[in-house]
Structure 1
Amino acid sequence: MALRTAAQVGDRQFTPGSPRAWTIVAMLVVLMALNYADKLAFGLAATPIIDEFGLTLDEFGLAGSAFYLPFFITTLIVGFAADRVGSTRPLGAIAVLWGVAQLSMVAATGLGVILFSRLLLGASEGPTYGLVNHSAFSWLKESDRNLASSLLSAGGSIGVMIGAPVLTWLIVDHGWRSAFLYTGLASIAWCLAWFFIGREGPLSNRAPAASRATDEAPDTAETGAEGAEEAAAGTGSGAAAPAGPDASAAAPAHRIPSILRIIATPTFLAVSLAAFAGNWAIAVNLNFKPLYAEHVLNMTEQQISVFIVVGQLFITAAVYIGLGTLMKSLMGRGYSGRVSRGVLGGVCVVAAGVAFIGFVYAPGLYPRLACSVIGGIGLIAFPVGSTVIAQMAPVERRAGALGTYAAIYGLAGVIAPWFTGLVAEQAETQAAGLDNAFIFWGALTIVCGVVALVFTRPERDGRRLAAAAGGGGPAKSR
């Protein structure tokens, strides 16, 4: 049985998987929804912004890329800092900065203010995905993390589903600045609620030792063979050594693998490339898909809004919830992370790349829109990458590893909008240029998916990390 302490018996809400834990996850899902609503506002307001300030497509693409320029640096800095200070305070701080960034767009007078707003928003939103996963994982057992990470990713889709019609209405009826005003105020309101609700989880390395007892001595009746594997490997949910009177002495500092060892594993690099392709898709969709739909496909603002909502419904139901539940089921039945996460995730990313190319060549409006919707299946790369990294990395390195992961895939956001705008300007027509950029996007996604399919092997690389740090490795699973 797991060790019990007076604190745990008296306050069961601070145990892994408790109602309090899922309340935290729900708050983080809302934060992810606001994250994507903030980003969506810029794409939906593309036409009035371009018209008001006389921007070219490459200038607009530069403003889109500016969002991601500080992404890499802040994601790394905040990720490593969260290993020391926890995730609660950084999450509150970045939400306030989102609000400031969005409100600055309300007073925009030209490209300079737009670039400032996008840089500040990117700097503050960059660490979000790694932080929300780290925070959620500190409240949940390994068996719950696939579903939680999928729900967090689904939060982005929820933000787009709700944001698309609401922001479109605001832009059309009240001007494009109103979209930034209300998203900014919503981010600040979330921070006020987080002040009262947010806490470090019992499986965080920042939590008191007593509250981590459940994780340090897994109850096999609850976690089964999977929990026993984690306890042996010192990975996953944060178990670093067998529980007992000398538990703290049994986990000396040299037994924790360095962050460089973690990020140099083929698995880490493979899932990072898959997420790179996914983030390329997000950056292009948010910045150029509404513009493409309006000027090339001749869709109205309301039709674009419906199209966006349908796409996000598919992503939420089929990708994050459907595939997330399937992966959880496969893991529960004893299949390895290699099969249930690596193979399944890699196949989905490859399929997404094929769909993106199909979007260019499919005959007729509705087949093209169908290809665009199906392409969302590649976004499963985000929860797959987060859970695989948490499966390999010890809790003492988890935030830094997730931050590095987010920084790597964040580079796609720096390149994709600028590259897409540049290619579009070089072609004879805007439509031809965007089609060329979309074909490249599809080919890139296929390559990244194949890499993920072949090289994602969390059990193997987890054993190597444990062996290099002087510990044992997890038992094999089928």
Structure 2
Amino acid sequence: MTASPDFQAKSAWTMTLLLTGLALINFLDKIVLGLVAVPLTAELHLSPEKFGLVAGSFFWLFSISTVLVGFLSNRFQTRWLLLAMGLSWAALQLPQAMATSALALLICRVILGAAEGPAFPVSVHALYKWFPDRQRNLPVAIINQGAAFGMLLAGLVIPLVTRQWGWRMNFLLLGAIGAAWSVLWACFGREGGLGRQQAAPIVRTRVSRLPYRRILTDRSVLSVFALGFTAYWTLGLSLTWIPTYLEKGLGFNGVEAGRCFAVVVATATPVNVGLSWLSQRMLGRGVSTRKARVHLICLSAVAGALLYITLMLLHLPPLQKVALLAIAGALPTLSFTLAPALLAEMVPDTQRGSLVAIHTALASLGAAFAPAVMGRIVQVYGGNNSHAYELGFTVSAVLLIAASLAALRWLHPDRSHKTLNHFATQATA
């Protein structure tokens, strides 16, 4: 494989490091609510159902802002969009720290979700300007591990901060961290030069633009969206309910639950990077993307689903349940890494940013619904034992299996690329 002459490895990996830091902050912001759930719900007198509603509210405007900023990323430099995000996240931590009611906290989370929604697709779009197609799996996987490390750090640090200074102090610290990243990005963030000039590793005829109506009704594209929805569903549960499950369902104290949560999220790093590396290695050996990306995502998701079901069916000691939960949650995260690459194969570079944004917007609806569904289940079956939470995880398993079977049937990247371009060629003839 011959690298593009415009590829600048040192700068590309520097941008990857900075964007990994942004992903870390993004997930610290997301997970903090789940890790302070027990003292927060006690102080604000929230039922499980109300807490699930507040937790899911983070994603109410997440999708809308993701799509809007995704289209902007087709026209404006990503470096400025990312800087605006970092600054807004930092500023929005203060009102969360001062919230005194469920309504005030809900409003803060809705606004913060709108500000953070575009982070992943814009980061991926920014990275794709630095890396050619067959080198994109690994840097995106590394960004995702910034998210995993953010959750790991949160599990270790947030319970200690809460015990020492109270749950509100966590939001103030996150504001300071976000401000520090924004300064670094303003100094060192740059725009990549790869894009329309990049030579594709597989010779294909690309049109400049495709009708969005045609793209969004393509079965391969819809299958990618479905896989993303189920992956975000499991992520939404991880962000909001796993700490409570560990504490109330499995009987750990707050600090122990935080450490167990850190183990759960840390497991995602070797699993995601290892599978992403395997996919990239398969591509390097000439394996089709159908096998190297689609099959790998689906097999990982189904394996994770079976482990979720096992968690409910078997009566295991708490630490064994933590181990199963860790692997089950790690496997579906491969979709976060490979889904953008699959979309980039099928659509022109000029529409890549908006399509990745649309995917994130629709997929993240899973994270909006999942906490509320789990909250309802816990409300009905009681939250002081593990059964209710494990029933909620089983709902995730069903969704993962259904989306994987659909993708195995309908997700064919090369076929969709040819179909979409043939349609566009006929339309412009």
TM-score interval, smaller chain: over 0.9
Offset of 1:171 from its aligned partner?
A: 1.0
Partner in structure 2 of residue 270 of structure 1 = 223
Determine what percentage of the aligned residue pairs are the same residue. 26
Partner in structure 1 of residue 353 of structure 2 = 399
- TM-score of the superposed pair, with normalisation by structure 2: 0.94
Matched residue type, 2:284 = G
1:428 and 1:190 map into 2 onto residues whose CA distance is 41
1:186 and 1:233 map into 2 onto residues whose CA distance is 45
1:288-321 CA deviation, whole Å, 9 max, x = no partner? 11111111100122222222222223211122x1
SS at match of 1:84: coil
Partner in structure 2 of residue 330 of structure 1 = 282
Structure 1 residues 453, 430: closer, same or farther in 2, change over 3 A? farther
Counterpart pick for 1:257 among 199, 202, 210: 210
Matched residue type, 1:417 = P
Matched residue type, 1:284 = L
Offset of 1:441 from its aligned partner?
A: 1.9
2:294 and 2:321 map into 1 onto residues whose CA distance is 29
Offset of 1:204 from its aligned partner?
A: 4.2
Partner in structure 2 of residue 426 of structure 1 = 380
- Answer with 287-296 or 437-446: which moved more: 437-446
Partner in structure 1 of residue 319 of structure 2 = 366
Alignment of 1:5-20 (within 5 A): 15-20=6-11
Larger radius of gyration: 1
Offset of 1:429 from its aligned partner?
A: 5.7
Offset of 1:198 from its aligned partner?
A: 1.6
1:150 and 1:17 map into 2 onto residues whose CA distance is 19
Partner in structure 2 of residue 355 of structure 1 = 307
Structure 1 residues 175, 469: closer, same or farther in 2, change over 3 A? same
Instruction: Give the paired residue count.
Output: 422
Alpha-carbon contact 2:249-2:383 (below 8 Å) kept: no
Alignment of 1:71-150 (within 5 A): 71-150=62-141
The answer to whether residue 163 in structure 2 is matched with residue 183 in structure 1 is: no
Offset of 1:354 from its aligned partner?
A: 1.1
Offset of 1:433 from its aligned partner?
A: 3.2
Alignment of 1:148-187 (within 5 A): 148-187=139-178
Report the RMSD for the aligned CA atoms in angstroms: 1.9
1:198 and 1:228 map into 2 onto residues whose CA distance is 27
1:337 and 1:425 map into 2 onto residues whose CA distance is 43
Partner in structure 2 of residue 243 of structure 1 = none
1:11-44 CA deviation, whole Å, 9 max, x = no partner? xxxx324201110111111100111111111110
Structure 1 residues 314, 138: closer, same or farther in 2, change over 3 A? same
The answer to whether residue 386 in structure 2 is matched with residue 414 in structure 1 is: no
Offset of 1:228 from its aligned partner?
A: 4.3
Matched residue type, 2:378 = A
- Answer with 134-143 or 158-167: which moved more: 158-167
The answer to whether residue 399 in structure 2 is matched with residue 444 in structure 1 is: yes
1:429 and 1:286 map into 2 onto residues whose CA distance is 17
Matched residue type, 2:25 = L
Matched residue type, 1:64 = A
SS at match of 2:364: helix
Offset of 1:269 from its aligned partner?
A: 1.2
Partner in structure 2 of residue 237 of structure 1 = none
Offset of 1:452 from its aligned partner?
A: 2.3
Partner in structure 1 of residue 422 of structure 2 = 467
Alpha-carbon contact 1:160-1:312 (below 8 Å) kept: yes
SS at match of 2:194: coil
Alpha-carbon contact 2:134-2:201 (below 8 Å) kept: no
1:380 and 1:17 map into 2 onto residues whose CA distance is 26
2:259 and 2:253 map into 1 onto residues whose CA distance is 10
1:255-295 CA deviation, whole Å, 9 max, x = no partner? 52123322222221112111111111111111111111111
Structure 1 residues 435, 308: closer, same or farther in 2, change over 3 A? closer
2:182 and 2:309 map into 1 onto residues whose CA distance is 40
The answer to whether residue 204 in structure 2 is matched with residue 232 in structure 1 is: yes
The answer to whether residue 32 in structure 2 is matched with residue 60 in structure 1 is: no
The answer to whether residue 297 in structure 2 is matched with residue 297 in structure 1 is: no
Alpha-carbon contact 1:28-1:152 (below 8 Å) kept: yes
Structure 1 residues 228, 142: closer, same or farther in 2, change over 3 A? closer
Alpha-carbon contact 1:278-1:381 (below 8 Å) kept: yes
Partner in structure 2 of residue 306 of structure 1 = 259
Alpha-carbon contact 1:345-1:453 (below 8 Å) kept: no
2:242 and 2:309 map into 1 onto residues whose CA distance is 14
Counterpart pick for 2:340 among 337, 362, 386: 386
SS at match of 1:154: helix
Offset of 1:132 from its aligned partner?
A: 0.6
2:26 and 2:43 map into 1 onto residues whose CA distance is 25
Stretches of structure 2 lacking an aligned partner (at least 5 in a row): none
Alpha-carbon contact 2:128-2:136 (below 8 Å) kept: yes
1:17 and 1:336 map into 2 onto residues whose CA distance is 26
The answer to whether residue 297 in structure 2 is matched with residue 342 in structure 1 is: no
Matched residue type, 1:276 = F
1:30 and 1:428 map into 2 onto residues whose CA distance is 38
2:223 and 2:32 map into 1 onto residues whose CA distance is 31
1:443 and 1:87 map into 2 onto residues whose CA distance is 37
SS at match of 1:200: coil
1:399 and 1:95 map into 2 onto residues whose CA distance is 19
Offset of 1:455 from its aligned partner?
A: 2.2
Alpha-carbon contact 1:347-1:453 (below 8 Å) kept: no
Offset of 1:232 from its aligned partner?
A: 2.5
Alpha-carbon contact 1:43-1:287 (below 8 Å) kept: yes
Structure 1 residues 17, 48: closer, same or farther in 2, change over 3 A? same
2:181 and 2:411 map into 1 onto residues whose CA distance is 36
Offset of 1:402 from its aligned partner?
A: 0.3
Offset of 1:430 from its aligned partner?
A: 4.9
Alpha-carbon contact 2:79-2:189 (below 8 Å) kept: yes
SS at match of 1:109: coil
